[in-house]
């Protein structure tokens, strides 16, 4: 089969689907380091991992409504100014299984680890678009281009054997501050096959689905990408909409992800003795470049809340959100030492820098595709004697 040439993967990954390969690490791996090692970074695919025969002859096409179309070699792209961004990538389906438990949804059954934080390096998309004649901060080109489409080489059944694709607004693509990258490195190493070798898009602060892997072409278009994952998937419908009455064109493609927070340690169902001293740990992140303002933990069912410590770099225990040094696109890891008297629940919720809060229950945000479950994360701790 076409799945004969898959790369090796870490045995600790929890496989949610083998073909295409969809897997997430144990939650504890996410809080073990601020930067997620590649082998523990979730893998989300819609088809077999492509094999690139010869990187020396690879050409990235840049066309559509641009003044001068071009083909760029990898060598050329590597010679452009190299920019690094620490960015958290999160699948829109992260925490889907918990949504499914309330009412069935369609999609890969993800736990809470379809997320990772990496240092991505490559050329800025805004620099590459300048090369083809589109200046920075362009809302529309003279010939009407308003969207930038990314087309891959992989094939997926949703596109009827065609390539995976997505688009972002031209304004975002040409904005240096948006930090959109054509990345060829992940964590200082050459991008590996699972994560998009030789080149992938990284759109910080936006659901993972727009960060197209194995990038083959960039087209400037008048309309947003008409691909399956933009038009027939990754949209948010109200709880009243189900598969018999879904009307896809009535909703926009999802872009920025909402404020999210998860307990990674201890894990659900852990048994502890009465009055156990425990350090609770997890991640918190928000989309659109919004930082995390606060992480609240409750060990009494949500009656009272304790504020957790937040950190971005392991060397520096605390970085405030407004000192200009924070990683704008990256998660914070948080921790709080508490004394627990099980059986009981631990609940966490975060607030972002725009004061957005997480919904308490999953019911109010239930949607047929099971996307963007950012309800309060709650785990149960059992009593041991």
Q: Which is nearer to ligand MTE, 182 or 381 (CB)?
A: 182
Q: Which of 209, 297, 347, 381 binds Mo ion (CB under 5 A)?
A: 209
152 binds, among ligand MTE, Mo ion, none (CB under 5 to 8 A by kind): ligand MTE
- Supply the minimum distance, in Å, between the C-beta of residue 161 and Mo ion: 20
Contact segment (CB under 5 A) with Mo ion among 34-42, 63-71, 201-209, 235-243 equals: 201-209
- Quick check: 27 binds Mo ion (CB under 5 A)? no
Residue 319 contacts residue 311 (beta carbons within 8 Å): yes
- Quick check: 362 binds Mo ion (CB under 5 A)? no
- Quick check: 208 binds Mo ion (CB under 5 A)? yes
CA max distance for the chain: 73
- Supply the minimum distance, in Å, between the C-beta of residue 20 and ligand MTE: 7
Q: Which is nearer to Mo ion, 58 or 164 (CB)?
A: 164
- Quick check: 44 binds Mo ion (CB under 5 A)? yes
- Supply the minimum distance, in Å, between the C-beta of residue 83 and ligand MTE: 19
Q: Which is nearer to ligand MTE, 254 or 308 (CB)?
A: 254
- Contacts by 305-312 with C-beta closer than 8 Å and gap 24+? 306/336, 306/338, 307/336, 308/280, 308/334, 308/335, 308/336, 308/348, 309/334, 309/335, 309/336, 310/284, 310/334, 311/34, 311/335, 312/34
Dig out the tokens for 121 from the structure: 């390096």
- Supply the minimum distance, in Å, between the C-beta of residue 94 and ligand MTE: 8
Burial bucket for residue 385 (CB in 10 Å: 0-12, 13-18, 19+): exposed
Dig out the tokens for 200 from the structure: 């992938």
Cα separations in angstroms, 295 against 32, 95, 106, 262 = 19, 18, 30, 10
Give me the count of residues in the chain: 385
Contact segment (CB under 5 A) with Mo ion among 83-91, 100-108, 297-305, 324-332 equals: 83-91
**C-alpha–C-alpha distance, residues 126 and 227, integer Å:** 23
- Quick check: 91 binds Mo ion (CB under 5 A)? yes
- Supply the minimum distance, in Å, between the C-beta of residue 228 and ligand MTE: 11
43 binds, among Mo ion, ligand MTE, none (CB under 5 to 8 A by kind): ligand MTE
Nearest to 129 by CA among 89, 79, 70: 70
- Supply the minimum distance, in Å, between the C-beta of residue 93 and ligand MTE: 7
Contact segment (CB under 5 A) with Mo ion among 175-183, 200-208, 252-260, 268-276 equals: 200-208
**Site of interaction with ligand MTE (CB under 6 A):** 41-46, 89, 91, 152, 154, 164, 195, 208-209, 211-214
- Supply the minimum distance, in Å, between the C-beta of residue 207 and ligand MTE: 7
**C-alpha–C-alpha distance, residues 138 and 167, integer Å:** 15
Q: For the CA atoms of the chain, what is the radius of gyration?
A: 21
**C-alpha–C-alpha distance, residues 79 and 250, integer Å:** 43
Nearest to 195 by CA among 37, 330, 352: 37
154 binds, among Mo ion, ligand MTE, none (CB under 5 to 8 A by kind): ligand MTE
- Quick check: 200 binds Mo ion (CB under 5 A)? no
**C-alpha–C-alpha distance, residues 137 and 284, integer Å:** 30
Q: Which is nearer to ligand MTE, 46 or 349 (CB)?
A: 46
214 binds, among ligand MTE, Mo ion, none (CB under 5 to 8 A by kind): ligand MTE
State the residue number with the nearest CB to ligand MTE.
208
Q: Which residues bind Mo ion (CB under 5 A)?
A: 44, 91, 208-209
């Amino acid at each position: 089969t076409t799945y004969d040439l898959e790369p090796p993967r870490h045995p600790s990954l929890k496989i949610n689907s083998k073909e295409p390969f969809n897997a997430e690490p144990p939650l504890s791996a996410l809080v073990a380091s601020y930067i997620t090692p590649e082998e523990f970074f979730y893998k989300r695919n819609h088809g077999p991992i492509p094999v690139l025969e010869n990187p020396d002859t690879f050409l990235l096409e840049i066309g559509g409504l641009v003044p001068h179309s071009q083909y760029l070699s990898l060598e050329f792209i590597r010679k452009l100014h190299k920019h690094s961004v620490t960015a958290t990538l999160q699948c829109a389906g992260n925490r889907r299984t918990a949504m499914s438990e309330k009412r069935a949804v369609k999609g890969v059954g993800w736990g809470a680890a379809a997320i990772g934080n990496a240092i991505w390096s490559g050329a800025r998309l805004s620099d590459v678009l300048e090369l083809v004649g589109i200046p920075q901060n362009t809302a529309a080109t003279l010939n009407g281009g308003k969207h930038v489409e990314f087309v891959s080489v992989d094939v997926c059944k949703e596109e009827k054997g065609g390539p995976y694709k997505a688009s972002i607004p031209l304004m975002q693509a040409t904005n240096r501050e948006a930090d959109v990258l054509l990345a060829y490195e992940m964590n200082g190493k050459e991008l590996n096959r699972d994560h998009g070798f030789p080149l992938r898009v990284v759109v910080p602060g936006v659901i993972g689905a727009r960060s197209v892997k194995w990038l083959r072409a960039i087209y400037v278009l008048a309309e947003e990408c008409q691909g399956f994952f933009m038009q027939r998937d990754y949209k948010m419908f109200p709880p009243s909409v189900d598969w018999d009455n879904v009307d896809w064109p009535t909703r926009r493609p999802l872009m920025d992800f909402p404020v999210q927070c998860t307990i990674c340690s201890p894990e659900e169902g852990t048994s502890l003795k009465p009055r156990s001293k425990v350090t609770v740990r997890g991640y918190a992140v928000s989309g659109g470049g919004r930082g995390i303002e606060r992480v609240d933990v409750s060990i009494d069912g949500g009656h009272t809340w304790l504020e957790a410590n937040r950190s971005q770099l392991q060397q520096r225990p605390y970085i405030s959100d407004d000192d200009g040094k924070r990683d704008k696109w990256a998660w914070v890891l948080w921790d709080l030492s508490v004394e627990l008297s099980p059986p009981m629940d631990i609940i966490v919720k975060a607030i972002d820098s725009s004061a957005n809060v997480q919904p308490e229950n999953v019911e109010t945000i239930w949607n047929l595709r099971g996307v963007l479950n950012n309800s309060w994360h709650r785990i149960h701790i059992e009593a041991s004697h």
